[in-house]
Amino acid sequence: MLTIQNLTANYGGPNILKNVNIHVKEGEIVTIIGPNGAGKSTVLKSIFGMTNIVEGKINFYEENMVGVKTADVIKRGICYVPQGRSVFPSLTVEENLEMGAFIRSDKAKVKKDLHYVYEKFPKLYQRRHQKTKTMSGGEQQMVSIGRALMLQPQLLLLDEPSIGLAPKIVAEVFEKCEEIKQSGTAVLMVEQNANIALEYSDRGYVLELGENRLEGTGKELLSNKKVGELYLGK
Ligand SMILES: Nc1ncnc2c1ncn2[C@@H]1O[C@H](COP(=O)(O)OP(=O)(O)O)[C@@H](O)[C@H]1O
Ligand SMILES: [Mg+2]
């Protein structure tokens, strides 16, 4: 569904990504790992029209995505959860979710979107009138993911969804990713928590200094000696 080919991108200064190749197939969870500053988040931002693309291609179902404005990327079926819990703290859960449907003008459709998200996140339904600032980190992360799912995207981009969460909650976040995948939304994520992320991933990529280093199935990367030493604490 998504093909990134020989992508070179920057933020107006030196190139951050150099000839990066990544693809995602329908029904996959794909994870990008690598050290801090490797350019992992920059890959997601490039898909979302937030970087300066020097060279290369980003295609989503054969359609060119380079130069497409963020709002139009969303309309084509890609949603993005940036790093950190980007909830609106003084809004309720439901108000936060409704923000995710900002491109819809059809109120009835928004109701359906809400229903869709509440089905996936029954806990959010129970808490729908609670202000998000009074919720735990894990709950806020679920609100962010739920908000991105409001438009029922074909591809969900997640930047470090497990950062700062207790281990038990981290597992819950990855379980949700698995459910999201089962319901037909592919996931491309960036993770520091490489061990658990690769366990839940169909495939993964290692990025270093803005370049592809390694790729393989989740299992292959988990048993790769270099990945083990550098990223899995083995
Ligand atoms: N908005 C920005 N403007 C300029 N440089 C940036 C911006 N965001 C990130 N960078 C730089 O791009 C490089 C890669 O960053 P990033 O993609 O966030 O890495 P990672 O997610 O792998 O930690 C870093 O050197 C960072 O300083
Ligand atoms: Mg990052």
Q: For residue 96, what pLDDT is reported?
A: 97
CA distances from 184 to 61, 91, 152, 170 (A): 15, 29, 9, 22
Q: What is the pTM of this model?
A: 0.95
Nearest CA to ligand 1 atom 7: 11
d(CA 185, CA 177): 9
Question: Which residues does 92 contact at the CB level (< 8 Å), separation at least 6?
Answer: 128, 129, 130, 131, 132
Give the model's pLDDT for residue 231.
Answer: 84
CB 189 within 8 A of CB 161: yes
d(CA 126, ligand 2 centre) in Å: 32
Tell me: pLDDT of 50 over 90. Answer: yes
**Is a pLDDT exceeding 80 seen at residue 234?**
no
> 16 in ligand 1 pocket by Cβ < 6 Å?
yes
Q: Give dist(CA 191, CA 198) in Å, integer.
A: 9
Residues with CB under 5 A from ligand 2 (ion): 41
The tens digit of pLDDT for each residue in 80-122 reads 999 987 899 999 999 999 999 988 888 889 999 999 999 999 9
Q: What pLDDT band is residue 65 in, cutting at 50, 70 and 90?
A: very high
Mean pLDDT score, 36-62: 97
pLDDT in tens, 114-130: 999 999 999 999 999 99
The per-residue pLDDT for range 129-175, each reduced to its tens digit, is: 999 999 999 999 999 999 999 999 999 999 999 998 999 899 999 99
Q: Which ligand is nearest to the CA of 207?
A: 1
pLDDT for the residue 61: 97
Is residue 200 within 8 Å of 29, Cβ to Cβ? yes
Beta carbon of 41 within 6 Å of any ligand 1 atom: yes
Instruction: Supply 145's token pair.
Output: 């993911």
